[in-house]
Amino acid sequence: MSVLRESAESVSSSFPTGFVWGAATASFQIEGATTVDGRTDSIWDEFCRRPGAVANGDTGEPAADHYRRYAADVELMASLELGAYRFSVAWPRVRPDGGAENEAGLDFYDRLVDRLLEAGIAPWATLYHWDLPQALEVRGGWAARDTAYRFAEYTESVARRLGDRVAGWCTLNEPWCSAFAGYASGRHAPGVTSPPSAVAAVHHLLLGHGLAMERLRTYAPSAPAGITLNLFPVSAAAPTDTSDVDAARRVDGLQNRIFLDPVLRGGYPDDVLADLAPYGFTDHVRDGDLAVISAPIDLLGVNYYRALLVAAPVIRDPGPSEWIGAEGVRFLPSGLPRTEMGWEVQPDGLTDLLLRLHSEYPGVPLYITENGAAYPDEVGPDGTVRDVDRLAYLAVHLRAAHAAIRRGVDLRGYFCWSLLDNLEWAEGYAKRFGLVHVDFATQRRTVKDSARWYAGVISRNGLPAE
C-alpha cells in the first residue's frame, strides 16, 4: 500500500505515458560496510581519512547501512510508488583494488536487482559514481590512460552478471566532478591539485565511457545505455560586456561542451581546446579515441541543480581552481532563495537547459537523473518530517520539466536526488537531500512529507493543480 495517494486534487500536468519515475543514490554515500565481503578502499575511503577533508571527520561508515538493509529499503521504495531506482555499483566491491572479480561483491548487486524486480521496480545502474579503487589511484588514477581500460573490464564484469535484468545503464556520473573537483581543486577525492592531471582525467574518463559502452552493447544489448552529466545553463552577468560574455563562454565550455560535444558530436570544441592548450590536453587524445567516445548512446542523463551567472575575473585566481582555462571567473548571485548547500533555486534554468539540449544536441532521449535539494530536516515531536521547502522545490522543478515536454523535448524520466539522507561527500552527514530521513545513529528511516507528495505525483503520473 502506498504511504500516501493524493487523490483529492485534480491533475493539471500529466506526463507522457511510460514516463519513468524514480529516485537515485550512490554506493559510497549509502552502503556502508566498507570492509565487508572483500571490498577494498576507494579513493573516497582514503580521502575521508585526511584531516579536514570531509566535514566533521565523517567517513563512509556507517552511511545509511544500505548494504545490510537493502531489502527493507526496497520495501520502502515500493511504498513510495517508485517505478525505478537508480543506484551505483561500487567498483571496489566488484573488482577490489581494480583486480580480479569478487563474487561476493557481485552477489550483493544480484540480490538488490532481484529484490527490486520482485517489488516491481526497474533497476537502473550507474557504473561509476566516483568510487575509484584506491589501488588504481596509486597507479595514476584517471590521469592515467590505463584506468579507462580497467574500467572497461569492470563494466564487463557487471554487465555479464546483471545485463539480463537492468533496465537502464549510465557509464559515468558527472565526470566533471571526477576530473575537475578531484584533480584540479582537490576538494573531492582523490584530492589532487594538478591542472595537467585534471585535463588528462577528462579525456580518460570519456574514453572509459566509450569503452564501457562497447562492453554494454555486447553483454547488455537490450537495455538503453548512456552517460550522466551535471549540466548548467551559463549566462553572462552583463550580456553587452565582451569580457563577461567570454567568461561565460569559457565556463560553458569547461562545464558543458567539453563533455557534450565529444560524446554527441564526435569532437572537442575548438575554443575549449584553445583554452586548455597550456595544460597539454590534446597530448592525451590518440587516433581513434573520439570514434570510441562518440559511439551512439541511447540516453543522456541530466543532473540539474542550478544555473550559473558569470562575470569576468577581477584578478587571476592564485589558488587551486576547478576552472582551469577560466581561472578567477566570478559567479554572481541572482537574489533567489537558496538551499542548505547555498545553491539558488532556479527551476526556469531546468527548462532552459532541456530546451538547449533538444535544440543543439537533438535525437537523444533525455532523463533527469538527479534533481533535488538539501534542507535542515528534523523529525518533529509527532514523528514526522515537515520538509515544506523540499516539497516546493520538487513541485516547481517538475513543472519546469513538464514545460519543456510541452515544448517538444523528449524527456522520458525523472529521478529525484536522493532516496535517503546520506554522506554528502565533503559536506559529510550534515546536508540532507533525502526523501527519507535517516537517523545515522540508529539507522531509523522516516518518510518525509516530500516523499508522500512525490508518491502522489507518481501514482497520478502528473502534478496536482496549483
174 is a catalytic site residue: yes
46 is a catalytic site residue: no
Classify each residue of 354-377 as buried b or exposed e, where b means 16 or more C-beta atoms within 10 Å of its C-beta. Answer: bbbbbeebeebebbbbbbbbbbeb
- Residues 132, 62, 414, 346, CA torsion sign: negative
Q: How many CB atoms lie within 10 A of CB 82?
A: 28
* Three cell numbers, residue 32: 556502508
| d(C-alpha 21, C-alpha 368), whole Å | 10
For 271-335, give the secondary structure using H, E and C.
HHHHHHHHHCHHHHCCCCHHHHHCCCCCEEEEECCCCEEEECCCCCCCCCCCCCCCCCCEECCCC
Cα–Cα separations (whole angstroms), residue 276 to 33, 104, 254, 264, 308: 40, 43, 9, 20, 21
Cβ 2 vs Cβ 36: under 8 Å: no
Catalytically annotated residue among 137, 174, 322, 424: 174
Residues 6+ apart with CB under 8 A from 217: 225
Cβ 311 vs Cβ 238: under 8 Å: yes
For 150-200, give the secondary structure using H, E and C.
HHHHHHHHHHHHHCCCCCEEEEEECHHHHHHHHHCCCCCCCCCCCHHHHHH
* Beta strand 411-417 pairing with 436-439: unpaired
| d(C-alpha 23, C-alpha 94), whole Å | 23
Closest by Cα among 1, 3, 13 to 460? 13
Catalytically annotated residue among 31, 81, 370, 424: 370
- Look up cell 502528473; give the residue: 462
* Three cell numbers, residue 404: 519543456
- Look up cell 550507474; give the residue: 126
* Three cell numbers, residue 264: 554527441
| d(C-alpha 170, C-alpha 175), whole Å | 12
Residues 6+ apart with CB under 8 A from 272: 253, 254, 257, 258, 261, 325
- Determine the 3-state secondary structure of 369 from DSSP: strand
Cβ 376 vs Cβ 433: under 8 Å: no
Tell me which residues are annotated as active site.
174, 370
